[in-house]
Structures are given as structure tokens and as C-alpha cells.
């Protein structure tokens, strides 16, 4: 059995997918073609806690919608979007941070996240992740994406690192 708390103690960077992790994986499409998504407001406080523990945070998304960078900017976290190769982006972020992928957690929800989930020390999926990615995870949240899954992960890290 994997000791998730021991793995958490070695994590220095958490990379999050956006759609389906920060959001409920739904999109509102308006008549002019613009889009909006819904996010869980409590994630912001959780992310601040991670940063207090020295955990770096980044969003890595294939999405091109400006709402992704707008949300990241509000949360004061880095964001890489319109990524055609999420794993290459993740590897680049880890290298720039001077850490190995074993010191990285990745949070995803769908099959385009599999390359990232397969290469990190702590692969995490949200509760309502696509069935094909669930077996790859060492941790699956109790909450669904967009319904506090990010906050749950932040709280888990806080509980582990504060002891």
C-alpha cells in the first residue's frame, strides 16, 4: 500500500489541469460565441495555503479560452494554456524549477492528462474523472471537479505538512 502522506512530503510543485478540475467541465456558450465556466471560490484560499508551505502551483491546459488565464491571474498562479503537449510543458516547468518529476503532483480528469499522470511522483484525479484515467491515480478526490476538488487537495497537503 502506498503511503500518500510520505509522497506528499516530497512534493514541491502541483500542476493542475483546468477544465474538469477547477471547473465542473461544463461551458456556457453565449450568442456571440464567447464562453464562460464555473469555478469553486474556495479553491483560492486552499491555493494560498499551499504557497505558504512552499508548494509551487501551475495550471497546464490545452484550452485556449482566455478565462483560464483570467482565473489563474486572479488566483495569482502561473498558467500555461493552449498546450499541445502537456507533458512537455510539465517537464519544462519542473526543469525551470530545478526539481525532478518525482517531486511533482499532477491533477487531471481526462485522457489528455494521461502522459502527465504517468510521469509524476503523485498522480491525482478528481472524483468524476474519465474511467480511463482513474487507474493511473494514487489519489482520487472525494469531490468532483469544480465542486471543491482543488480545495480538497490543498487541505490534504495542509493536513499532512502541518504535522
- Domain with 17 in it: 4-161
Which cell numbers hold the place of 33? 460565441
Which cell numbers hold the place of 121? 511522483
Which cell numbers hold the place of 154? 490543498
Q: What is the pLDDT of residues 67-102, one digit of tens each?
A: 999 999 999 999 999 999 999 999 999 999 999 999
**What mean pLDDT comes out for the span 96-122?**
98
DSSP 26: -
Q: Which of 54, 115, 135, 44 is nearest to 106 (CA)?
A: 115
31, 21, 17, 161 alpha-carbon torsion, rounded to 10°: 150
Q: What is the pLDDT of residues 24-73, one digit of tens each?
A: 999 999 999 988 999 999 999 999 999 999 999 999 999 988 999 999 99
User: What is the count of structural domains for the chain?
Assistant: 1
148 contact partners, CB below 8 Å, separation of at least 6: 40, 42, 43
Domain of residue 155, CATH code: 3.40.50.1000
111, 16, 123, 141 alpha-carbon torsion, rounded to 10°: -90
Question: What local confidence, expressed as pLDDT, does residue 2 receive?
Answer: 73
Q: What is the pLDDT of residues 121-150, one digit of tens each?
A: 999 999 999 999 999 999 999 999 999 999
Amino acid at each position: 500500500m502506498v503511503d500518500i502522506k510520505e509522497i506528499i512530503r516530497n512534493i514541491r510543485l502541483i500542476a493542475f489541469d483546468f477544465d474538469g478540475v477547477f471547473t465542473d467541465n461544463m461551458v456556457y456558450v453565449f450568442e456571440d460565441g464567447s464562453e464562460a465556466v464555473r469555478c469553486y471560490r474556495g479553491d483560492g484560499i486552499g491555493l494560498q495555503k499551499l504557497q505558504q508551505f512552499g508548494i509551487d502551483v501551475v495550471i497546464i491546459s490545452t484550452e485556449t479560452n482566455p478565462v483560464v488565464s483570467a482565473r489563474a491571474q486572479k488566483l495569482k498562479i502561473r498558467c500555461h494554456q493552449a498546450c499541445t503537449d502537456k507533458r512537455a510543458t510539465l517537464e519544462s516547468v519542473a526543469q525551470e524549477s530545478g526539481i525532478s518529476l518525482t517531486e511533482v503532483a499532477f491533477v487531471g480528469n481526462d485522457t489528455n492528462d494521461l502522459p502527465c499522470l504517468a510521469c509524476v511522483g503523485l498522480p491525482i484525479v478528481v472524483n468524476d474523472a474519465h474511467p480511463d484515467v482513474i487507474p493511473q491515480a494514487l489519489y482520487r478526490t472525494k469531490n468532483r471537479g469544480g465542486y471543491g476538488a482543488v480545495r480538497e487537495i490543498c487541505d490534504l497537503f495542509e493536513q499532512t505538512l502541518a504535522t
